[in-house]
A and B are shown apart, each in its own frame.
Chain A
Amino acid sequence: MKLNAIIAEDEPISRNFLERYCEKSGMINVAGSFADAESALEFLQHNATDILFLDVEMPGDSGFQLLDKLTVMPKVILTTSKTDYAYNAFQYNVTDYLKKPFSYVRFQEAVNKVTESFIDRKTDVKKEDIFIKSDGKLTRLNYEDILYIESVGDYVKYCTLGKNYITHSTLKAVEEKICGMGFMKVHRSFIVNLKKISNIQDYTLLIGGSQIPISKLLKTEVMGRINIAG
């Protein structure tokens, strides 16, 4: 399976290099290539992305300013021609730091670090959580604690028993990230944790005391996913 990547790099020849190297690796699908941070952010808010190749100095927002605005963090490989950003790179927990220009071998090393972390994630079943950006900080939510996720305009609300967290994202992006982990979209505005459903009546389900609508189109699929005794 190929990893989905995007490139945020203002310099066309450097962009070309990354595109070519991604193609050559045979492991990466470049889903988008952007000359500024704003366009990359717009894409990232609506599309699940595994790797972000990110230049630091770009016109408009810098690469780090882009990272500040992200609600769901892909694996980040910084590509910069300056070494001065090492401390920031550490602070932002980037996977690797490529100093331009870099060879194909060095590029491959960085990609290997990402793929290894994906393998670790898949084999370690205890890591069932997600980091969301809410109130200016990244907060870890265990999947088990999430009751449901609701779309609210340009935001999504993660509802847990104790607290709700609002973050700037779309339900589609959340769906791509967590559906298949015990979650399911039951309505255009709701994704629910299947394990937390108390009861279902007609086109409504009860979860943590809240009534959630089930769309007519998705009702059969919902019934197929729960364990009915008869």
Chain B
Amino acid sequence: MSGGYFEFNSKLDIDFLKSLYEDDNEHAEMVFEQFLQAISTQLNELEESFIAGSTEIFRKKIHTIKPILSFVGLTGLTYKAEIIEKNCVGASGVNVVHELYTAFKNELYQLIPVIENDLTKLKALTL
């Protein structure tokens, strides 16, 4: 454990991140790194399932991504993912969530550099 609260980027949910990591910056660094290693594969799989068109498979993929977004402070996107997941239940096709999904992934792609930047700062802190 490494002491002192880290100042996360204000685009992230700082209060929530503090409740997750408290002063354990080493843990935050580990999770931010894991998130960045995993997210591109997860987004590719999500996109593939969207193109394939099965709402149930797409729903499961978005369900898996949903909590990990909050682990890096993207609580707003977790909420949006939850809405997409709910809209998939009983839907005839993935097109029902096309607009929501497009907005979701665009926002996520814009925020990934923020996570990368905070990871760099966390690494510097725990050196």
Contacts and interface: CB of A to CB of B under 8 A. Distances in A.
Interface residues of B, number: 22
Interface residues of A, number: 17
A64 interface: no
A82 B89 CA distance: 13
Contacts of A13: 31, 34-35, 38, 68, 71
Nearest to A83: B82
B67 A101 contact: yes
Given A16-B31, A17-B31, A11 B64 contact: yes
A191 B78 CA distance: 51
Interface in A12-53: 12-14, 16-17, 20, 24
B80 interface: no
B20 interface: yes
Contacts of B24: 20, 24
Given A24-B1, A103-B16, 15 more contacts: A11-B67, A12-B34, A12-B38, A13-B71, A14-B71, A16-B31, A17-B20, A17-B31, A57-B63, A81-B66, A101-B67, A101-B71, A104-B19, A104-B22, A105-B19
Interface of B: 1, 16, 19-20, 22, 24, 27, 30-31, 34-35, 38, 60, 63-64, 66-68, 70-71, 78, 82
Interface of A: 10-14, 16-17, 20, 24, 57, 81-82, 100-101, 103-105
